[in-house]
Amino acid sequence: MLRAIVSTFLLSLAWTSVARSQDFPPVVDVELVLAVDVSWSMDIDEQRLQREGYVNAIRDPEVIRAIRRGDWGRIAVTYVEWAGVGLQRTVVPWSIIESQRDADLFAKALGEASIGRMRRTSISSALLMSAALFDNGIDGFRKVIDVSGDGPNNMGPMVTEARDRVIRQGITINGLPIMVKQRIRGDFFQIENLDEYYRGCVIGGMGSFMITIESREQFGQAIRRKLILEIAGAQPTVQKAQIEVPQSVAVDCMVGEKQWRRWRRFDQW
């Protein structure tokens, strides 16, 4: 048994060496798209907390340990901001992270980049654009889109159609619904059950899950925890108001589009 384990380990090292010497695609445990909502419904202080949460999480020692525990001990990450249809931008391109130095460089690039603010909310377009980014010359065992947002889809393709199209490509969609405003004050474009909306209309694929954020103080911890779970590929335990796994729920996946049409009619009066 020991001989077999040693042989497998040596074979893995040999393959890694050959792959690098012959310029084969880099092999990683997971390719992760961090797709972050920067629509106008997100206050600038919320966006800063969100950005700071990702900067700190990616270089956190626990996240680095999770990366190193993988079969290949490295991941590929890119950071994307999104809002309405056609309003997406890559803030940090695909980067291989397998060491603290790699993580620090990624965090530095992310921390120094400006934060965009754009109009409308098209989760569907963000998912489709993120899925296209996996055509990147990297060979990942798992492909994951980590999408955050504080409201429902209100333009572009139906979110369920985009979700299903992405899932059929073997990509997992995890969610980070931001419900700070739902708990503090009302807003025309907010919905009280954003967690149920994400669970029923947005996330999906093998091992998909979401973590809700219900206060500003939760940004950093929730983002760090979510990254660790995505890197480890683990199915989290369900905890109320923190982690949710997909379930069959009755939710209107067109609620955002209906809100927008009502607002347009009201605005024209």
All domains of the chain in start order, with CATH = 25-268 (3.40.50.410)
Q: What is the DSSP-derived secondary structure letter of residue 239?
A: B
Average pLDDT estimate for 81-95: 92
| Residue of higher predicted confidence among 211 and 268 | 211
At residue 118's C-alpha, the angle toward residues 60 and 172, to 5°, is 50
Residue 223's H or E segment, with its range, is helix 219-232
Overall pTM surpassing 0.95 (yes/no): no
Average pLDDT estimate for 202-211: 94
Q: Tell me which residue has tokens 């405003």.
A: 181
Q: How many CA atoms are closer than 13 Å to the CA of 15, on its beta-carbon side?
A: 11
Cα–Cα distance measured from residue 81 to residue 218, given in angstroms and rounded to the nearest whole number: 20
pLDDT at 258: 65
pLDDT at 253: 84
- Residue 47: other Cβ atoms inside 10 A: 18
Average pLDDT estimate for 78-89: 92
Tokens describing residue 164: 């299903």
Average pLDDT estimate for 174-182: 86
Average pLDDT estimate for 12-41: 74
pLDDT at 22: 53
The CA-based dihedral angle spanning residues 180, 182, 186, 189, taken in that order and rounded to the nearest 10 degrees: 90
Q: In sequence order, what are the beta bridge partners of 75? A: 97
pLDDT at 20: 52
Strand bridging mode 75-82 / 27-37 = parallel
pLDDT tens for each residue of 224-265: 999 999 998 754 443 333 444 445 457 878 766 566 555 445
Cα–Cα distance measured from residue 239 to residue 226, given in angstroms and rounded to the nearest whole number: 13
32 three-state secondary structure: strand
pLDDT at 188: 52
Q: What is the DSSP-derived secondary structure letter of residue 27?
A: E
**Amino acid identity of 163?**
R
In order of 182, 202, 257, the CA distances from 162 in angstroms are 25, 9, 15
pLDDT at 268: 43
179 three-state secondary structure: coil
Average pLDDT estimate for 63-74: 95
pLDDT tens for each residue of 33-51: 999 999 877 778 888 999 9
- Greatest mean pLDDT among 2-6, 8-12, 113-117, 198-202 lies in 198-202
Residue 92's H or E segment, with its range, is strand 88-97
